[in-house]
């Protein structure tokens, strides 16, 4: 039964002193977990047998990284894209332990995403702008677009033929890639659509909204498969496991929930002590990393936690 899948999992806290977590990302081989926070530099942990809790600071990236993403392509597993709030994106080369490229962007960056092949990465900003770069020649974007509204999150589908953008009005806008032809609008939520995730098996699409619901949609015709309303507050984060069996989600109500992606059953819940601000499944197994904001008012420290089989 799916409910028994996580009975032998436990939470492991990583060493973290950089304030509220902004973002988390696993390298494509699962060997590195990297986090960005409100105070101090980005930190990476190399997860080998026995684990590694201290980690390494990537000081050359500076102290204002808000979004980061490791390239999903195995041939570029050493490349990390890190978006700064101050209108630039860094490409970090893990092999050289240094920044290989610094790119100027047109606005205050709010999200970053790689295409599944690792050929492209997209950056959206708070001024309704989109820029897409080709990793082979990243100095100038191959797409620059002014959008009609603020985009909350962006994702390619597994086949890299569709590009999904979620909006403050609750919709998911679907574009053909690479033509950028607008194909359809999915009326996903009655309030802001804050998050989107793509099933690695390319069967399902999950969205999380400020209306405190998660929608699960068919990728065949974008019809609704089910709505999950286990939440008491706006849904902020959704993420599919690497095998597509489970969806992790987090809302304002201090819990990380794991649902069966096909039945919608709640199979496990992790109660947390402050707002969860980032989460991502390991690319090869059922380990889940999540980070929190902490709280000065309640003296709760921000943390990076890995929920994994003991």
Which residues on adjacent β-strands are paired with residue 16?
A: none
Evaluate if pTM is beyond 0.85: yes
CA pair distance 190, 187, nearest whole angstrom: 8
In a domain, 39, yes or no: yes
Instruction: Give pLDDT, residue 155.
Output: 98
**Residue 96 domain-assigned (yes or no):** yes
Cα gap 279→305, rounded to integer Å: 9
Asked if 296 contacts 41 with a C-beta cutoff of 8 angstroms, the reply is no
pLDDT score for 279: 98
Domains in the chain, number? 1
How confident is the model at residue 85, as a pLDDT? Answer: 84
Let me know if 260 is exposed, middle or buried by CB neighbors in 10 A (0-12, 13-18, 19+): middle
State pLDDT tens for residues 225-284.
999 999 999 999 999 999 999 999 999 989 999 999 999 999 999 999 999 999 999 999
Q: Domain of 99?
A: 22-147
- C-beta separation of 123 from 129 below 8 A: no
Can you tell me the distance from the alpha carbon of 249 to that of 206, in angstroms, rounded to the nearest whole number? 10
* Domain contains 276: no
**Sign for the pseudo-dihedral over CA of 178, 181, 184, 188:** positive
Say if 136 falls within a structural domain. Answer: yes
| Domain of residue 128, CATH code | 2.130.10.10
Does residue 280 fall inside a structural domain? no
pLDDT tens per residue, range 23-74 = 999 999 999 999 999 998 999 999 876 555 568 999 999 999 999 999 999 8
Residue 182 lies in a domain: no
Rounded Cα distance between 233 and 248, Å, is 16
108 in a domain, yes or no? yes
Is 3 inside a domain boundary?
no
């Amino acid at each position: 039964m799916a409910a028994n899948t996580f009975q032998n999992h436990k939470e492991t806290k990583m060493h973290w002193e950089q304030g509220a977590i902004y973002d988390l990302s696993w390298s494509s081989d699962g060997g590195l977990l990297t986090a960005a926070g409100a105070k101090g530099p980005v930190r990476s942990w190399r997860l080998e047998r026995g684990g590694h809790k201290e980690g390494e600071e990537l000081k050359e990236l500076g102290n204002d990284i808000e979004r980061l993403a490791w390239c999903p392509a195995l041939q570029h597993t050493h490349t990390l894209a890190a978006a700064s709030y101050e209108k630039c994106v860094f490409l970090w080369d893990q092999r050289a332990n240094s920044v290989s490229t610094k790119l100027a962007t047109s606005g205050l960056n709010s999200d970053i995403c790689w295409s599944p092949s690792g050929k492209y990465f997209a950056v959206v900003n708070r001024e309704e702008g989109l820029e897409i770069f080709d990793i082979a020649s990243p100095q100038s974007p191959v797409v620059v677009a002014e959008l009609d509204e603020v985009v909350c999150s962006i994702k390619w589908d597994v086949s890299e033929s569709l590009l999904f953008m979620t909006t403050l009005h609750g919709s998911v806008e679907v574009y053909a890639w690479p033509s950028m032809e607008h194909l359809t609008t999915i009326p996903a939520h009655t309030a802001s659509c804050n998050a989107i995730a793509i099933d690695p098996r390319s069967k399902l699409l999950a969205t999380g909204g400020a209306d405190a619901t998660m929608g699960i949609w068919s990728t065949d015709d974008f019809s609704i498969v089910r709505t999950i309303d286990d939440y008491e507050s706006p849904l902020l984060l959704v993420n599919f496991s690497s095998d597509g069996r489970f969806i992790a989600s987090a809302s304002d109500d201090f819990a990380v929930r794991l649902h069966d992606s096909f039945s919608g059953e709640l199979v496990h819940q992790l109660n947390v002590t402050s707002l969860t601000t980032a989460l991502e499944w390991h690319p090869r197994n059922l380990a889940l990393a999540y980070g929190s904001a902490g709280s000065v008012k309640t003296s709760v420290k921000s943390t990076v936690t890995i929920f994994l089989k003991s």
